Structure 1
Amino acid sequence: MPLHVPPAPAPALRTVLTALGSPTAVREARTPSLLRAQGPASPELPLPVHVLDSASTAGGSTTHLTGWRFLIRCGDRAVAAAETMLTPDGWAFSHFFEGPYIPSTERALRQADVLPHAYQPRLLSIPGLYMLALWLHGDCDADAATGRLAATDLLVPLAPAPPGIAAHRPHLAAELLPVLTHRVTRAPLLGSPA
């Protein structure tokens, strides 16, 4: 079934288009692949970025929207990504970046697109584990800016995933969230990255 990619807020898209049109913003981005890109670059596949609330438990996993991420396509491949953020004044361009999460996101989206059920794709950040997952929300008509993880939603960890968690393997939220919650609560005991 096809994925139901939610439309990004028009002001968020405008900020990315403005940044792409700014030689200064592109040059200062420190993304060599975007600097070397031949031809026009366009923002595609907007995905809302949610952060798992640290107080969440497997029974009530809430998230909050922090921004929208756009893959920046040049020709037939994504060369970078652009992130926007919500500020008190509305949507603002945050930054361009590149790295392993871009091809990993594309791969996870291709995998999800052939699943037997329709989903609304989102990105879920779990900061305590330095982890990012493709969140396949079962309610395709839901407001992409809000969300509570349903037990039947799927989470696809993106590469690089934390040790012991297989990247690109879909997990039911009800199965993966207790593991993530346990690891996040143990992390301070093991020390935190400085």
Structure 2
Amino acid sequence: MPLHVPPAPAPALRTVLTALSSPTAVREARTPSLLGARGPMTPELPLPLHVLDRGAPEGVWATRLAGWRFLIRSQDRAVAAAETVLTADGWAFARFFEGPYVASTERALRHAETVEGSYQPRLLSVPGLYMLTLWLHGDRAADPATGRPDATDLLVPLAPAPPGIAAHLPHRVEDLLPVLTHRVTPTRLLSSPA
């Protein structure tokens, strides 16, 4: 099996289980798929969620752990996701949500199982582009809370992807990051000569 899904921190998982068992938390989430789910709901496939930050010096990218995301399964499919964040007091439940990234994440993970090689799956958010990718990190034994994309890691943009970037196609980091850099870098307006 090429994917090595890292275990989530136990306190992060406990916060999701507590929220799932709370009718108030589920009701207040206003997530129709959770409200209409039949049978037990279980958090599965915990993935560390990293945010891609443009760092100094010019052209250097860094990541920071933003939390852990769990797919919430009911019967035979993922119906929602739950996110946790690290606070000064430890891991805390942040929110339930649904939408296209839930199914897209599940689809990308299934496809990643067929990719040649062995990877640790993570999520990588690119806020400047409103983009989320499945990050397939080549070091399966790495600490899932740290690190940055290696040139040979794979990024799989999730749907919906920004215009001009195909969703669900794996790209080497060394190929996709320059495209993202160009898109995120603000263009400088040139003043016209007087």
2-side partners of 1:148 and 1:124: how far apart? 10
Contact 1:58 1:177 in 2 (8 A): no
Equivalent residue letter for 1:178: P
User: Pairwise mapping of residues 98-109 of structure 1 onto structure 2 (< 5 A)?
Assistant: 98-109=98-109
Shift of 1:147: 1.1
Equivalent residue letter for 1:86: L
1-side partners of 2:61 and 2:115: how far apart? 24
2-side partners of 1:61 and 1:173: how far apart? 11
Shift of 1:97: 0.2
| RMSD, matched Cα | 1.6
2-side partners of 1:141 and 1:117: how far apart? 14
Q: Deviations over 1:55-113 (max 9, x none)?
A: 27896432000100000000100010000001111100000000000010011001100
2-side partners of 1:129 and 1:163: how far apart? 10
1-side partners of 2:135 and 2:58: how far apart? 15
Equivalent residue letter for 1:14: R
Shift of 1:116: 1.3
2:79 is matched with which residue?
79
User: Pairwise mapping of residues 119-138 of structure 1 onto structure 2 (< 5 A)?
Assistant: 119-138=119-138
1:160 is matched with which residue?
160
- Secondary structure class of the residue paired with 1:168: coil
Contact 1:155 1:173 in 2 (8 A): yes
Contact 1:57 1:181 in 2 (8 A): no
Mark the runs of 5 or more structure 2 residues left unpaired by the alignment: 190-194
Equivalent residue letter for 2:152: T
**Does the C-alpha gap of structure 1 residues 126 and 177 become closer, same or farther in structure 2, counting only changes over 3 Å?**
same
Identity %: 76
2-side partners of 1:47 and 1:58: how far apart? 29
Contact 1:57 1:178 in 2 (8 A): no
- Secondary structure class of the residue paired with 1:105: helix
Equivalent residue letter for 2:78: A
Equivalent residue letter for 2:105: T
Contact 1:58 1:174 in 2 (8 A): no
1-side partners of 2:188 and 2:35: how far apart? 39
How many pairs are equivalent?
189
Equivalent residue letter for 2:50: H
2-side partners of 1:178 and 1:37: how far apart? 42
Tell me whether 1:30 sits opposite 2:33 in the alignment: no
1:116 is matched with which residue?
116
2:192 is matched with which residue?
none
Equivalent residue letter for 1:45: L
1:70 is matched with which residue?
70
Equivalent residue letter for 2:91: W
2-side partners of 1:13 and 1:128: how far apart? 29
Equivalent residue letter for 1:124: L
